[in-house]
Amino acid sequence: MNKDDQILRAYATITSIRANVPERPQIEERWVKEFNAAIEKLEKSLDIDLQEFKVPQDAIKRFVASCNSQTNDVTYLEGLWCERAILMQKLDSVLMYFTGLQDRDDNKIGFQPFK
């Protein structure tokens, strides 16, 4: 696959995540993995560092499903989770970054680094 195709695929993935991520406070780790993989694809295709746009590993954790105040027993949701707001902030920031760059060169579509 060529560079432009990889960029378009990453853009499609990121915009699809934005449109389809569940509307609840915590989201499953798989959404973060897919988003971070799209960012890595952009980094590789564009040969630029986009680490600041990835959801950090420490944002992925176990969340409490319930707790018993009498016994202090805590039950966790199965798997690892991330606060939806964290993913959405990273997602919106990368889209805004590339939209800002794109506005400087109206002939480009999708992700294009500023030169």
| Tens digits of residue pLDDT in 77-91 | 899 999 999 999 999
In tens, the pLDDT along 8-28 reads 999 999 999 999 999 999 999
- Do residues 63 and 77 lie in contact, with contact meaning Cβ atoms separated by under 8 Å? yes
- Residue 108 domain-assigned? no
Q: How far apart are CA 43 and CA 21, in angstroms?
A: 23
- Residue 38 domain-assigned? yes
- Residue 114 domain-assigned? no
In the three-class reduction of DSSP (H, G, I as helix; E, B as strand; rest coil), residue 7 is classed as helix
- Residue 16 domain-assigned? yes
Give me the number of domains the chain comprises: 1
Q: How far apart are CA 40 and CA 47, in angstroms?
A: 10
Please tell me whether the overall predicted TM-score, pTM, comes out greater than 0.75 for this model. yes
Name the residue range of residue 15's domain.
Answer: 3-103
In tens, the pLDDT along 31-49 reads 999 999 999 999 999 999 9
pLDDT-based confidence at residue 75 (cuts at 50, 70, 90): confident
Q: How far apart are CA 51 and CA 56, in angstroms?
A: 9
Dihedral sign from CA coordinates of 85, 96, 113, 5:
positive
- Residue 87 domain-assigned? yes
Res 101 pLDDT > 60? yes
